[in-house]
Amino acid sequence: MKNLQKGPLIISGNAHKDLSKDIAKYIGQDLTKSEVFKFINDNTFVRILENVRERDVFIIQPTSFPVNDHIMELLIMIDAAKRASAGRITAVIPYFSYARTDKKDQPRVPITGKLIADLVTTAGADRVMLMDLHAGQVQGFFSATVDELTALPILARYFIEKKLDDIVVVSPDIGGTKRARDFANKLGAPLAIIEKRRIGNKDTVESLNIIGDVKGQSAVLFDDEINTGGTMLAGSVLLKENGVKDVYVAATHGVFPEDSIEKIVNSKEIKEVVVTNSLPINYKSEKLKILSISELLGEAIKRTNRGDSVGALFL
Ligand code: R5P
């Protein structure tokens, strides 16, 4: 007999303890005690230190750096919860790395997003909670039930409260047009699109043309994620060359490998960088604004546990 009505239990991996604690606080409880560490031989060990038998367990683990270690941790935590007779297991993965490796678009390449999704469900996840995937179709890689949340209302509220004049939302590439269109609708702003070209398999980006009117306006370059920042930097230069007053860059996920965050924040073309805490970001700057998704995730977890609508959060 499943004891889901006893309320959710929140277990954190090592990827983003602060986010897990904030989610648990929103729900009004402590994290379920667990230990997750590596033995000297590099093997990951997990032990859940409280009873989870028949309970509704949520494991919080964005796939932050080191990505492969955190994926392995997640799989082992799911396995531990399953073997501890959890009633239902939800893998909460606010940032799903490898989601961009989603098709065989060159000879002899893998579809790693699908492979990881298979591993998560094979490990024993009954449900998966994701956020702002690079492409929504990636939901279908999971055979478990998926809820894909979006931080779009959180990001939109931030810009609405800023009360910027003459705002235009800009998609940094043609593939992101629908996402940027939805964001522009929330802000009641027009949309422009940059034509971007990625050179080979490298992270080098070239911005070519702007479709739409941007001159004299405040532009919000809007994307699902900022990785190396190449896309946003190239887009910002092009926007400034085309007479944009101020460039804001905004995305749900700030991946920021190596020193990329410094490059973006120190760019003279960019006025502000706005991301969420779907990934841990240990960098402070007046030009960097990190918006919290903990209440959104906490509320989605509460609703999932009670069997209430999660979609209603976004109406
Ligand atoms: C890819 O198309 C994504 O939507 C982002 O544009 C991309 O991940 C950004 O990568 P980077 O910051 O390395 O240019």
Same domain, 188 and 133: no
pLDDT at residue 207 is higher than 80: no
Same domain, 17 and 83: yes
CA of 200 to the centre of ligand 1 (A): 14
The 3-state DSSP class for residue 189 equals coil
pLDDT at residue 201 is higher than 70: no
Same domain, 191 and 274: yes
Same domain, 260 and 176: yes
Peptide linkage before 66 cis (omega within 30 of 0): yes
Same domain, 51 and 167: no
Same domain, 68 and 140: yes
What would the pLDDT profile of 83-127 be if each residue is shown by its tens digit? 999 999 999 999 999 999 999 999 999 999 999 999 999 999 999
Q: What range defines the domain where residue 143 resides?
A: 4-150+294-314
CA of 206 to the centre of ligand 1 (A): 12
Same domain, 77 and 163: no
Question: Which of 197, 225, 260 to probe ligand 1 with, by most ligand atoms within 8 A of CB?
Answer: 225
Domain count, the chain: 2
Same domain, 225 and 93: no
CA of 176 to the centre of ligand 1 (A): 10
DSSP state of 86: B
What would the pLDDT profile of 45-59 be if each residue is shown by its tens digit? 999 999 999 999 999
Number of H helices, E strands in the chain: 8, 14
Catalytic residue, from 17, 25, 196, 240: name it. Answer: 196
Q: Which CATH number is 236's domain given?
A: 3.40.50.2020
CA distance linking residue 194 with residue 242, whole number of Å: 12
Does residue 21 carry a catalytic annotation?
Answer: no
Q: Say what the pTM is.
A: 0.96
Same domain, 45 and 182: no
What strands, in cross-sheet order, belong to the sheet with 127-131?
A: 8-12, 56-60, 88-93, 127-131, 145-149
CA distance linking residue 152 with residue 251, whole number of Å: 9
Same domain, 157 and 137: no
Per-residue confidence (pLDDT) for residue 13, from 0 to 100 = 98
Taking residue 172's Cβ as centre, other Cβ atoms within 10 Å add up to 28
